[in-house]
Amino acid sequence: MIRLCFHGAESTGKSVLMEKLSRELGIPWVPEYGRTYAEEHGTLFAMADLLAMAEGQDAAMRSAAASKPPILLLDTDPLMTAAWAQMLFGEVPEVLFAYEKAELYLLFESDLAWVADGTRMFGTAEERARFAATAEAMLVRAGVRYERVSGDWAEREGSVRQCIGQFKRT
């Protein structure tokens, strides 16, 4: 099984593209648990909330992986929660690096227009740049393989489709 994780700052098209490609290509996906958590509990997070989100995301991933699909798309994982911890609290609990990692991360650049949706927090150009750098720093710190995804919607979709196609052939 290949786990392909979408990673990056807010409002970069990860969830929209994940859902679209999952539906069109018939590949199972694990939605972002943190969004549901934020919608239910609000966005005034404590570190305990982030740890609960990471645990919930990991549990959802393990559940989806139990059927052993050839490819599993992940709309985030605890490494993105680590980026949130750094952005919100200036520190990252080591436990966020202890979870199982995806085989490949797609790092979405913050080069699309930011859209407020009630759960997003970092919309200024400076905040977006800092969040994008922090997200990448977590991948580097974890020592995982990643590729960049950038450009307009069509370019992003093409890049992700190409990546998925490589795994579908193997």
Residue 150: give its domain's CATH number. 3.40.50.300
pLDDT attached to residue 126: 83
Domain count, the chain: 1
Q: Are 55 and 100 in contact (CB under 8 A)?
A: no
Task: Tell me which residue range forms the domain holding 116.
Answer: 2-169
All residues at 6 or more sequence positions from 64 whose CB lies less than 8 Å from its CB, including other chains: 28, 29, 30, 72
Model confidence pLDDT, tens digit, residues 82-102: 999 999 999 999 999 999 999
d(CA 41, CA 143): 32
Model confidence pLDDT, tens digit, residues 34-64: 888 988 888 889 999 999 999 999 999 999 9
